Amino acid sequence: MVNNQSNSNNPRLNYDFRRKKNAEGMRIQVATFTLMIFFTVVSFVAVAADFSKWFVIPFILLLAVVQVGFQLYYFMHMSEKGHEAPSLFMWSGITVAFVTVLAFMTIIWW
Amino acid sequence: MSTIAQKRGFASTIWDYLTTVDHKKIAILYLIAGGIFFLMGGIEAMMIRAQLAVPNNDFVSAGLYNELLTMHGTTMIFLAAMPLLLGFMNAVMPLQIGARDVAFPFVNALGFWLFFFGGLFLNLSWFLGGAPDAGWTSYASLSLASEGHGIDFYALGLQISGFGTLMGGINFLVTIINMRAPGMTYMRMPLFTWTTFVASALILFAFPPLTASIFMLSFDRMFGANFFNVAAGGNTIIWEHFFWIFGHPEVYILILPAFGIFSEIFSTFSRKRLFGYSSMVFATVLIGFLGFMVWAHHMFTVGLGPVANAIFAVATMAIAVPTGIKIFNWLLTIWGGSIKFTVPMLYAVAFIPSFVAGGVTGIMQAVAPADYQYHDTYFIVAHFHYVIVGGVVFALLAGVHFYWPKMFGTMLSEKIGKFTFVFFFIGFHLTFFIQHFLGLMGMPRRVWTFLPGQGLDAGNLISSIGAAFMAIGVILLLLNVVITSVKNERVGNDPWEDGRTLEWAIPSPPPFYNFKQLPLVRGLDAYWLEKMEGKTTLTPAEPIGDIHMPNGSFTPFVISLGLFIAAFGAMYHVDDKAWAIPVLIGGLAITFGAMAYRSIKDDHGFHIHKEDLMDDDNEDKGVKA
Amino acid sequence: MHAEEKFTPQTWPESPEKATLEGKNKFLGFWLFLGGETVLFASLFATYIALKDKVPSPDHMLAKDLFELPLVFVMTMLLLTSSLTSVYAMYHMKNYNFKKMQLWMLITVILGLGFLGCELYEFHHYYTEYNHTFTSSAFGSAFYTLTGFHGAHVVFGLVWMTLLMIRNAGRGLSLYNAPKFYLASLYWHFIDVVWVFIFTVVYLMGMVG
């Protein structure tokens, strides 16, 4: 089982390195979270400010997609290695999901 | 199997199967349950053909006829074909990749019991006030208007068994991705494993839309929702879309594993490597992908408009390309091979022209304007029976003969098997070929009778005679099973003598841990490679060591039973029965309680110790269960 | 590496959730399940989009009459924050700090309960004030089914996390329970993913019209 991914044989050094790496990762998570909160606030403000719906709808959808990307790739760690199969199947699921939603927006009522 | 049964007594064998998490035993459970449902669906089919044998027949009433055709379709697809294929996947796939079990043995058992209780619930409708009668597609405008509880049985039964299938799909995917033996790269996997993989992925993405829409149907019928109720703003087309977003991948879920079984049979009995292996893999994946893009070809006459119809027509025709690749690869596998016409090979060879005929009519229907002529006629019935019987059922029958020795350690009689084949093959073409013409002459499907003197009499009679031939074939198969089991002549590792893949290198039936040492896979057709070098065993990838195995558990049965009970509560809630809601809640409590129990109680499994494995060697039993 | 083995922060593996074969299988199987859930929720979203504002008569409430942004904003903040707190829990899990992990899990559960409370209030409000119910219109059915499925996922997630915390309170982290905690947190993030689309597609776009 390959758990120790650094080259050093000194466990103490490995440990310190990993602690530092985890802490660094956590800082990125917090930054991500800040951005997500920001996007959410912007979305709500855009709707509350009563802009044209031709601007608001694409804009808030874009923010939602970016936010979900953050959730998946940072909070759920999909950007890290060892997530090849999860990515494949999530993207396949997203493809089917997209086709389904598209169909229901176009060929349900006419 | 039978020797063990005698040693351990009947009750303990039953208990063993109720609690088993061994993929080989679960395979047997799937085979038995799927086989029984197959017979029930067959009886329903015989009754349909008896009714239609002569014009103006009154063998069954119009209402009963609707129930029969609905239950025939639903049973055959959900409770016979799919579970039987899942059975073969369970029996063979882990052996083919050199694994000791599936990734989630517990979930595997849970999947079976959910399917079983779902199927049982659906079929109880016969005794509890009438079966569903809105066709296997159960279009909402019809199913909402259906009186009684038939459709409720349909919705709840399929929901429960659908959960089971979904779990099976996830389980196989993880097994194939994570549990392959050393050296078993993706491009060395046998084709049956590949088709299991793609079919499982289709299950993963096709069943959720069905789950969602069945929830909606249940809510509409039982809890006053208005998804499909036009008067309250609903839309009945929603059900049709969901049903076919699920339903079209579903037919590939059925046919891809069938392709896999035939691929194994062709290369085994042509004693040649499968021609164009990588293009076969590519075609399988492509069919899986395209399978999600074509569902609306079932809905050409709904009125989606010319643009939508054109897109789906073109996408549908595109599927002919990968399917054609496969057909030619099989032909070229046989070409120049040293062919042995065993029973499985007979089915495989018969499959090619039969399935191509079904494929050709499929292309005809893909032409949207022409489909307006074929829609809802017997032409459609002929088409899908050509692909499903000529493809899937032939594969199931071939697979039963092919894998029987691996599953049970004894060979089905080749002689009876050939009689089965002849009757079934002739009966199949007799039944369904003429239906193309009945359809083109305007005979509608799903109508309980027809009038004399419209040119339909002779065709229908021929069709019904053909059905009797198929029934004789199935009876012969049952006879074969009984005779073989009584004789019980044990066979060795490789009873067909030409096995190419890992499963033929281990005893029949395999020991419960499958491989004493995980094998080292050195190429495609790993066992064949070893045999060509004059060896009889696989090259081990590890020294003999302790083997970790999962514990058996009764919890899967309890979880499924809970949902079965809850379904009665949900259904009779409509009748304002005072006990209905408590039963619903009680059933769900059983299910979730059992799940919590499973989650809280640690289960680390057990180890088979090295010394015991060595003992096995000395006794030279090979089989230990 | 056995599931029962004892560890120190130094020997604790880098990816404890994937250090055993069981863990690896669970990890992958759960991701696949989430792929299927994506399609399930897409089906519910698609239905909602198709049936939005489809009511039998003009006296029924439509989306823009019903929704109130402040409440939805509070719910969103609660759920988003709970997503971050479960990231913290996993951070401490990877550092083999069981106590802190439990603490952050507990905060996650509390935030989740807050979300659930708001949602129940919201449904109650629609039922009593606006007569917008599950059975009143196709719009109502689709709305409650979509948000209700999400709410049911929240409930399941809360029960799951609570059971995990109680069950393991006395024995600390091991390679046997690390994958379980990890999956629960993945599930919780997925619930948040769905909510991002719910607040955007259902509430915000509902207000825009």
Q: Which of B146, B311, B120 is nearest to B220 (CA)?
A: B146
C17: left (phi over 0), alpha (psi -120 to 50) or beta: alpha
Phi then psi dihedrals of residue B336, to 5 deg: 75, 5
Which value, in Å, is the radius of gyration of the alpha carbons in chain A? Answer: 20
Check B170 against C32: CB less than 8 A apart.
yes
Which C-chain residues 121-160 have CB contacts (< 8 A) with chain A? none
Chain A residue whose CA is closest to C36: A93
Chain B residue whose CA is closest to C44: B212
Helix (H) or strand (E) holding B66: helix B62-74
Cβ of residue B453 closer than 8 Å to a chain C Cβ: no
The tokens 């390195």 sit on which residue?
A: A17
> With 60 as the cut, is the pLDDT of residue B3 above it?
no
For residue A1, what pLDDT is reported? 37
Cβ of residue A30 closer than 8 Å to a chain B Cβ: no
Candidate from C14, C186, C199 with C-beta closest to A3: C14
Most distant pair of Cα atoms in chain B: their distance:
78
Cβ of residue C43 closer than 8 Å to a chain A Cβ: yes
How is residue B549 annotated by DSSP? Answer: E
As a whole number, the mean pLDDT across chain B is 94
Q: Give the CB-side neighbour count of residue A56, counting CA atoms within 13 A.
A: 21
What's the Cα-to-Cα distance from B500 to each of B266, B269, B482, B606, B616, rounded to whole Å? 11, 10, 29, 32, 26
Alpha carbons B167 and B116: distance in angstroms, whole number = 14
Cβ of residue B237 closer than 8 Å to a chain A Cβ: yes
Interface test with A, best of B166, B240, B286, B304 (most A CBs within 10 A): B304
Candidate from B209, B238, B599 with C-beta closest to C50: B238
| Mean pLDDT value of segment B535-539 | 91
- pLDDT (tens digit, 9 = 90+) per residue, B35-88? 999 999 999 999 999 999 999 999 999 999 999 999 999 999 999 999 999 999
Q: How confident is the model at residue B616 (pLDDT cuts 50, 70, 90)?
A: low
Instruction: Decide: helix, strand or coil at residue C78.
Output: helix
- pLDDT (tens digit, 9 = 90+) per residue, B421-440? 999 999 999 999 999 999 99
- pLDDT (tens digit, 9 = 90+) per residue, B235-273? 999 999 999 999 999 999 999 999 999 999 999 999 999
Check A99 against B293: CB less than 8 A apart.
yes
Measure B158 CA to nearest chain C CA, in Å: 16
A to C CB pairs, distance under 8 Å: 138
Interface test with A, best of B177, B205, B238 (most A CBs within 10 A): B205
Chain B residues with CB-CB distance to A85 below 8 A: 177
Which B-chain residues 194-213 have CB contacts (< 8 A) with chain C? 204-205, 207-209, 211-213
Cβ of residue A84 closer than 8 Å to a chain B Cβ: no
> With 50 as the cut, is the pLDDT of residue B619 above it?
no
Cβ of residue C40 closer than 8 Å to a chain A Cβ: no
For residue A2, what pLDDT is reported? 40
- pLDDT (tens digit, 9 = 90+) per residue, C33-87? 999 999 999 999 999 999 999 999 999 999 999 999 999 999 999 999 999 999 9
Alpha carbons B396 and B398: distance in angstroms, whole number = 5
C165 CB-near residues (< 8 Å, 6+ apart): C102, C105, C106, C109
Check A110 against B201: CB less than 8 A apart.
no
Candidate from C1, C9, C28 with C-beta closest to A15: C9
Cβ of residue A48 closer than 8 Å to a chain B Cβ: no
Q: Give the CB-side neighbour count of residue B401, counting CA atoms within 13 A.
A: 29
Instruction: Decide: helix, strand or coil at residue B547.
Output: strand
Q: Give the CB-side neighbour count of residue B106, counting CA atoms within 13 A.
A: 19
Check C145 against B223: CB less than 8 A apart.
no
What's the Cα-to-Cα distance from B337 to each of A43, B266, B272, B354, rounded to whole Å? 66, 10, 6, 22
For residue C3, what pLDDT is reported? 62
B505 CB-near residues (< 8 Å, 6+ apart): B493, B494, B499, B519, B526, B527, B530, B537, B538
Interface test with C, best of B106, B170, B606 (most C CBs within 10 A): B170
Candidate from A95, A99, A107 with C-beta closest to B304: A107
Per-residue pLDDT of chain C (209 residues; tens, 9 = 90+): 566 677 888 888 888 999 999 999 999 999 999 999 999 999 999 999 999 999 999 999 999 999 999 999 999 999 999 999 999 999 999 999 999 999 999 999 999 999 999 999 999 999 999 999 999 999 999 999 999 999 999 999 999 999 999 999 988 899 999 999 999 999 999 999 999 999 999 999 999 87
What's the Cα-to-Cα distance from C127 to each of B497, B543, C123, rounded to whole Å? 71, 67, 6
For residue B198, what pLDDT is reported? 97
Helix (H) or strand (E) holding B5: helix B2-8
Chain C residues with CB-CB distance to B596 below 8 A: 163
What's the Cα-to-Cα distance from A88 to each of A95, B198, C28, rounded to whole Å? 11, 13, 11
Domains and CATH numbers, chain B: 2-553+603-619 (1.20.210.10)
Check A71 against C73: CB less than 8 A apart.
no
Q: Which of C134, C150, C158 is nearest to C202 (CA)?
A: C150
For residue A14, what pLDDT is reported? 79
Check C35 against B177: CB less than 8 A apart.
no
For residue A11, what pLDDT is reported? 62
The tokens 């609905």 sit on which residue?
A: B70
Cis peptide before B509 (omega within 30 of 0): yes
Candidate from A92, A104, A110 with C-beta closest to B241: A104
How is residue B538 annotated by DSSP? Answer: P
Q: Which of B472, B477, B441, B467 is nearest to B31 (CA)?
A: B477
Phi then psi dihedrals of residue B147, to 5 deg: -85, 170
For residue B2, what pLDDT is reported? 45
C132: exposed, middle or buried (Cβ count in 10 Å: 0-12, 13-18, 19+): buried
> For B413-477, what is the HEC assignment?
CHHHHHHHHHHHHHHHHHHHHHHHHHHHCCCECCCCCCCCCCCCHHHHHHHHHHHHHHHHHHHHH
Which C-chain residues 138-197 have CB contacts (< 8 A) with chain B? 138-142, 145, 160, 163-164, 167, 176, 180
> With 50 as the cut, is the pLDDT of residue B295 above it?
yes
Q: Which of B246, C30, B253 is nearest to A96 (CA)?
A: B246
Cβ of residue C107 closer than 8 Å to a chain A Cβ: no
Alpha carbons B185 and B181: distance in angstroms, whole number = 9
Measure A97 CA to nearest chain B CA, in Å: 9
Interface test with B, best of C1, C22, C24, C25 (most B CBs within 10 A): C25
Domains and CATH numbers, chain C: 72-208 (1.20.120.80)
Check C36 against A57: CB less than 8 A apart.
no
Alpha carbons B215 and C145: distance in angstroms, whole number = 9
Check A96 against B308: CB less than 8 A apart.
no
Check A103 against B209: CB less than 8 A apart.
no
For residue B37, what pLDDT is reported? 98
- The answer to whether the CB of C88 falls within 8 A of the CB of A26 is yes
- The answer to whether the CB of B411 falls within 8 A of the CB of B344 is no
For residue C8, what pLDDT is reported? 86
Chain A residues with CB-CB distance to C41 below 8 A: 97
For residue A5, what pLDDT is reported? 47
Measure B67 CA to nearest chain A CA, in Å: 29
Q: Which of B120-129, B446-455, B600-609, C67-76 has the lowest mean pLDDT?
A: B600-609
Interface test with B, best of C17, C33, C39 (most B CBs within 10 A): C39
Check A90 against C39: CB less than 8 A apart.
no
Interface test with C, best of B227, B228, B606 (most C CBs within 10 A): B227
Alpha carbons B66 and B56: distance in angstroms, whole number = 16
Chain B residue whose CA is closest to A94: B205
Helix (H) or strand (E) holding B58: none
Alpha carbons B35 and B84: distance in angstroms, whole number = 7
For residue B602, what pLDDT is reported? 87
Check B235 against A108: CB less than 8 A apart.
yes
Alpha carbons B471 and B233: distance in angstroms, whole number = 48
Per-residue pLDDT of chain A (110 residues; tens, 9 = 90+): 344 444 455 666 678 888 898 999 999 999 999 999 999 999 999 999 989 989 999 999 999 999 999 999 999 999 998 999 999 999 999 999 999 999 999 999 87
Alpha carbons C37 and B205: distance in angstroms, whole number = 9
For residue B457, what pLDDT is reported? 95
Cβ of residue B238 closer than 8 Å to a chain A Cβ: yes
Alpha carbons B572 and B360: distance in angstroms, whole number = 46
The tokens 């015991």 sit on which residue?
A: B612
